[in-house]
Amino acid sequence: MTVTRPARLTGAALCAALALIAAVWILKDLAALGSPVDLAWYWAGDHFFLIRGRSATSLTDPVLLAVSAAGAVAALRSRHAASALAATGTVTLALRLPGLWAADSGALVTALAELALAAGLVVTAAAGRRPATAAYERLPTRPPTGRAVTAGVLLAVAAAVLTLWEVYWATELPVEVTVDRLTGGRSVVKPALAPPPGWLAAMLVGLYATAAGSAFARARHSRAFGLLAGGFLAAVGLAEVARAVRYELAAHFDELPTVQQLGLLSAAFGLLAGIAVLVLLAARGTQDPAPTSYGPAGPHTPYGRPGPYGSYGSYGPAGSMPPAPPSPPPPGW
């Protein structure tokens, strides 16, 4: 399946609009905090140093900015950008849906705008597809088996680890706090645009599991969803590892409680696994072999390559001449 040119241009425009909204909020936070370094540490989860104000953005916003920009570039450059547009739209829908019940009016307006743009991306990716119209038109590539299986294993393990952490916190925290972590209730303090932590964890588990399944199946859309999942996995792991290094938790690993040790190990695994998934799936995949058709003169391929018997085209063995025209030739020959 390929994407029509009008659909590609529409998808690129929608992705650019999503990236622009994220960029405007990030610039607003930079103006409020006055320091890109402070904003980066805020995204990493360090909120204790802020004395000049609060940030409305979270780690998901720069990641969504990068994802939207990549989706726009993919739509402009490739006829096979349907999976990239669909992945961008689906993840944006999942992340911005809790903004519909946000108390902040700016976050609510942003959520409505981004949900509309994301829904348009999904519709554009679905409606703009068309089947290959010629035998020589290439289909989207698939990742090689070894790289796909390795990436699938890493993403499946990441999904399992995050699920276990959410089960642990559900058993440790009161029921009302667990519910607030899913819905963004009063007991959860978070940036205005950030999804509730439980909601974000559930979305990431679904993304990692979906990307792992598509990688195991070597589906044509596995690269788009796998790269998206790898980006989130690496970003979350990097933020947690950076925060641990800043407060010298890694240097005193042996002195930490078991829960913090497991959390630091999980963060390190997420960082390394995310980078590995990006490396494994970033390279161009492999093309399916061209189908062999059988005509009256024997097998041949639609690309004019030699068939099993050395033929070029459908005229028989290599070196033979095409058949003579009929005599007398019909009208218009």
Convert the pLDDT of each residue in 164-214 to its tens digit.
999 999 999 999 999 999 998 888 888 899 999 999 999 999 999 999 999
- Across the range 96-110, mean pLDDT stands at 88
Residue 313 has pLDDT above 50, yes or no: no
Asked whether the predicted pLDDT for residue 155 surpasses 70, the reply is yes
Q: Please report, for the chain, the start and end positions of each structural domain, with discontinuous segments joined by +.
A: 1-131, 139-287, 289-318
Instruction: Return d(Cα 248, Cα 48) in angstroms, integer.
Output: 16
> Residues 79-110, buried b or exposed e (16+ Cβ, 10 A)?
bbbbbbbbbbbbbbbbbbbbbeebeeeebeeb
Structure tokens at 303: 């690309």
Distance CA 102, CA 99 (A): 5
Distance CA 75, CA 94 (A): 21
Q: Which residue has the higher pLDDT, 220 or 20?
A: 20
| 171 or 50, greater pLDDT | 171
Residue 320: its pLDDT value, please?
47
- pLDDT for 8: 94
Mark residue 81 as left, alpha or beta (left: phi above 0; alpha: psi -120 to 50; beta: remaining): alpha
Average pLDDT taken over every residue of the chain: 84
Per the model's pLDDT, the better-predicted residue between 123 and 251 turns out to be 123
pLDDT of 273 higher than 60: yes
pLDDT at 137: 55
Q: Which residues contact 147 (CB under 8 A, 6 or more apart)?
A: 280, 281, 283
In the predicted model, is pLDDT for residue 295 greater than 60?
A: no
